[in-house]
Structure formats: C-alpha cells, structure tokens
Amino acid sequence: MVKLEYIKKQYPRTRRVHGNWYLSSYQYKFNVKRINQCLEHLRKGELVGLKCRSCNTVSFPPRLICPKCLKMPDQWVHLRETATVATFSGTYAKESGDTEPRPYPVVAIRQDGADTSWLANLPEGYDFFKVYVGMPLKIKWAEDKKGDFSDIEYYEPIEDPSIEMNKKEETEN
Ligand SMILES: [Zn+2]
C-alpha cells in the first residue's frame, strides 16, 4: 500500500456515541431561483459569482448569505475559467486496474476572482502525488451543457509559470 509520508501523528479515539442518525429524515429548503442567473451562465460556458456589496467577498459557487458578514449579496460578477487548488486530501480506494488501494486526490479549489472554495474534480485517475496547494487549473466544460454544476466536467491542471521561475532562480544561484 502506498503510504503518505507526512502523516506522523495518530490521534486516539476520544469519544464514542452510540445511536443512529437518520440523514434521510432531514429536509432542506433551497430556493434555486436565486442562483438561476449563475446556472444560465453555466449553460453558455460562462462563470459568475455573487459579490457582497458590504465586504466585497465574492462567492463561487454563489452563496445566498455572505460567509464573511452574513449580508445578502446581490451583485453578479464574471469570473475567469482558471482556478487554483486551495487545499487537498487523499482518499484510499481500489479502482479497476489497481492491484492495491492507492490515494485518490480530493481537492478544494478556489476560482480565480472568488474568495470561497469548493470541492471539484480533477481529470479521472489523476496522480495524488502530483497535486499541490496553489496548483493552477482550468475548467474542462462538458460537451452537452445542462445549466447546472455538472457543466463543469472537471478542472484540468495547466502549466505553472512559478515552477519555471523557481528553476531559473536555482540555476542562477
Ligand atoms: Zn459580506
């Protein structure tokens, strides 16, 4: 099994709660009308986020309540197709073709121009050990757009200019 090198500490189990949690009995109300504008743009292959006039925080995907100052943002702003990896983790799985479980990346990305992050897909089977915080990405749009978030098929890693700059610095020194 491929071991992650940076996991050094094992935390003891501190508390155990017995019982069941009936998740399916919970009901959520979500008024999709308020993000219709975002969905319509997705259908056209465009991105818009919601900007809060009070604190200038831009959320993508749009949040109906500002995560910073709790006001209701109402200003739509266009965003670029590029994003960066904000943080990531690995989940061990054995996909077809794997002889033993290996880590698959689970990434939270931040769309360029937005202040919030969300979970998104990298290309299928992307090597966990190639992922890093700050890795630049670009949207790969779905062929048939439906006007929902599945129109973003995945985020494709793109060339990172900072790597070339670091290399240049190393050779100069
Ligand atoms: Zn705000």
- State the 10-residue block means of pLDDT for the chain, 173 residues long: 66 81 83 89 96 96 93 95 96 86 94 96 93 96 94 95 77 73
Q: Give the pLDDT score at 156.
A: 97
For the chain, how many structural domains are there in total? 1
CA 90 – ligand 1 centroid, Å: 32
Q: Is residue 43 part of a domain?
A: yes
Give the Cα separation of 119 and 106 in Å (integer): 7
Q: Is residue 59 part of a domain?
A: yes
Q: Is residue 19 part of a domain?
A: no
Q: Which two tokens stand for residue 24?
A: 């399916």
Residue 152 is part of which domain span?
Answer: 30-172
Q: Is residue 74 part of a domain?
A: yes
Q: Give the pLDDT score at 2.
A: 62
CA 51 – ligand 1 centroid, Å: 8
Q: Give the pLDDT score at 16.
A: 81
CA 59 – ligand 1 centroid, Å: 10
Q: Which residues pair with 48 in a beta bridge?
A: 78
State the DSSP H helix or E strand holding residue 133, giving kind and residue range, or none if neither.
none
Sheet holding 75-79, edge to edge: 58-59, 47-51, 75-79
Q: Give the pLDDT score at 15.
A: 81
CA 114 – ligand 1 centroid, Å: 13
State the DSSP H helix or E strand holding residue 153, giving kind and residue range, or none if neither.
strand 152-157
Q: Is residue 120 part of a domain?
A: yes
Q: Is residue 141 part of a domain?
A: yes
CA 144 – ligand 1 centroid, Å: 34
CA 18 – ligand 1 centroid, Å: 39
Q: Is residue 1 part of a domain?
A: no
Confirm if 131 and 91 have CB atoms less than 8 A apart.
Answer: no
CA 66 – ligand 1 centroid, Å: 5
User: H helices of the chain, where?
Assistant: 36-43, 161-172
CA 43 – ligand 1 centroid, Å: 27
Q: Give the pLDDT score at 127.
A: 93
